[in-house]
Amino acid sequence: MKIVVTGGAGFIGGNFVHYMVKKHPDYEIIVIDKLTYAGNMETLEPVIDKIKFYKADIADRKEIFKIFEENKPDIVVNFAAESHVDRSIENPEVFLKTNILGTQVLMDASREYGVKRYHQVSTDEVYGDLPLDRPDMFFTEDTPIHTSSPYSASKASADLLVQAYHRTFGLPVTISRCSNNYGPYHFPEKLIPLMIANALADKPLPVYGEGLNVRDWLYVEDHCSAIDLIIHNGKVGEVYNIGGHNEKANIYIVKKILELLGKPESLITYVTDRKGHDLRYAIDPTKIHNELGWLPETKFDDGIVKTVNWYLENKDWWEKIISGEYTEYYEKMYGNR
Ligand code: NAD
Ligand code: DAU
């Protein structure tokens, strides 16, 4: 089996490559990644001799068709994306190019080369948000698309295009919509790794608004196992929500990290809220559980300890990232907030 993994040098794509190398040692894994600011070859270092790597932009038609011609993949899993909501508010354009046009190019190549399964890694953010005072409400696969940020609008557009390629051209597709992931190799611009890095440096922990927004956290390996099941056993043309009923307010997460690191809560600084900030995400994972037997394995209390320990043990990986270009980004986003 030959499987193309795009965005494999990023957070979830990287974890997926590690997962697949271990789970399916007989598979040929072909990673395509543009190596944007979020891509890091060091994430792939432990498995580099077991995969084939191409540095390429998924929106570059010529290059992508060349790679497909050379490799004739059976399965394509598209993780490659601009993924940070705050950056999409600053500069939406690249989100539309990569997340929508890149998806189109990958599906055109998949059609041309007879790919047997094209899987689109999407997000719960395409459903918009839920109220904070309705804990009985969850996103199901039938929840209408209703986006808030340029990031989520670009991901929703891609999902619609994927469904159109299935209906119009018969491309064998599946889509998964997952909640917030956490775990190793998470880029430090995102909530959990940012708070760990700042706490370790005794820097202020910037909490947006009052810290009451709720996210539904899933350990990254559980996301990988769900995708592995979907690409092998999922029904063509279907959408699967992925989440583990792990809703937490942001302030809870931040305090938990401080507690685990033995740092004072006085480091918490409330800053100006994100524009259009989604209130609450919560996934109903009934479909993937009933149809494919998927269940998450890692409880949040264990996963957060594993994650904090990973950042303590792998300072080399993230300390390089938070110097250089990231310092400029940080100053721009948080300097005057
Ligand atoms: P990430 O930002 O950590 O990694 C994205 C990767 O894609 C990077 O390696 C980057 O270099 C690569 N990339 C970006 N533009 C590219 C292009 N034009 N061509 C080729 N490669 C390109 O993102 P992530 O958090 O790992 O998210 C992966 C996917 O999962 C995304 O599609 C995202 O929308 C989705 N998702 C993420 C989460 C989450 O909590 N992080 C949850 C649900 C869904
Ligand atoms: O739900 C899935 C989505 O989760 C993915 O599709 C996105 O790619 C991924 O980035 C993530 O989006 P969020 O916007 O939820 O993640 P982020 O880590 O940016 O923020 C999580 C919450 O923490 C959110 O409510 C904003 C808040 N926050 C974030 C940062 C970076 C802060 O309070 N302070 C911060 O400095």
Q: What is the tens place of the pLDDT at every residue in 30-63? A: 999 999 999 999 999 999 999 999 999 999 999 9
> Could you tell me the distance, in angstroms and rounded to a whole number, from the CA of residue 236 to the centre of ligand 2?
30
Q: Residue 208 belongs to what H/E stretch?
A: strand 205-208
Ligand 2, atom 29, residue with closest C-alpha: 191
Q: Give the C-alpha separation, 4 to 130, whole Å.
A: 34
Mean pLDDT of 265-276: 98
> Could you tell me the distance, in angstroms and rounded to a whole number, from the CA of residue 254 to the centre of ligand 1?
23
The band of 152, judged by pLDDT with boundaries at 50, 70 and 90, is: very high
Residue 306 clears pLDDT 90, i.e. is over it: yes
> Could you tell me the distance, in angstroms and rounded to a whole number, from the CA of residue 99 to the centre of ligand 1?
9
Tell me the per-residue pLDDT of 214-235, one tens digit each, with 9 for 90 and over. 999 999 999 999 999 999 999 9
Percentage above 70 pLDDT, the chain: 100
What class is the 2-182+217-242 domain? alpha beta
57: left (phi over 0), alpha (psi -120 to 50) or beta: beta
Tell me the per-residue pLDDT of 311-332, one tens digit each, with 9 for 90 and over. 999 999 999 998 878 888 898 8
Whether residue 311 lies in the annotated active site:
no
Tell me the per-residue pLDDT of 154-166, one tens digit each, with 9 for 90 and over. 999 999 999 999 9
pLDDT score at 326: 82
pLDDT score at 178: 98
CB contact at 8 A, 152 and 126: yes
pLDDT score at 324: 78
Residue 132 clears pLDDT 90, i.e. is over it: yes
pLDDT score at 327: 83
pLDDT score at 336: 84
The alpha helices in the chain, defined as continuous H runs, are 11-23, 41-44, 61-71, 85-90, 93-96, 102-112, 150-169, 191-200, 220-233, 250-261, 286-292, 300-313, 315-321, 325-334
The band of 337, judged by pLDDT with boundaries at 50, 70 and 90, is: confident
Give me the chain's average pLDDT, please.
Answer: 97
> What is the CA 98 to chain-centroid distance, rounded?
14
pLDDT score at 61: 98
Mean pLDDT of 113-124: 98
- Among candidate residues 54, 127, 151, 281, the one labeled active-site is 151
Those residues whose C-beta lies under 8 Å from the C-beta of residue 209, and which sit 6 or more positions away, are: 270, 273, 274, 277
Tell me the per-residue pLDDT of 60-91, one tens digit each, with 9 for 90 and over. 999 999 999 999 999 999 999 999 999 999 99
CB contact at 8 A, 151 and 88: yes
pLDDT score at 60: 98
CB of residue 180 inside a 6 A radius of ligand 1: yes
Q: Give the C-alpha separation, 112 to 134, whole Å.
A: 46
pLDDT score at 169: 98
Residue 237 clears pLDDT 90, i.e. is over it: yes
Whether residue 86 lies in the annotated active site:
no
Whether residue 124 lies in the annotated active site:
yes
CB of residue 283 inside a 6 A radius of ligand 1: no
Sketch the domain layout of the chain as residue ranges: 2-182+217-242
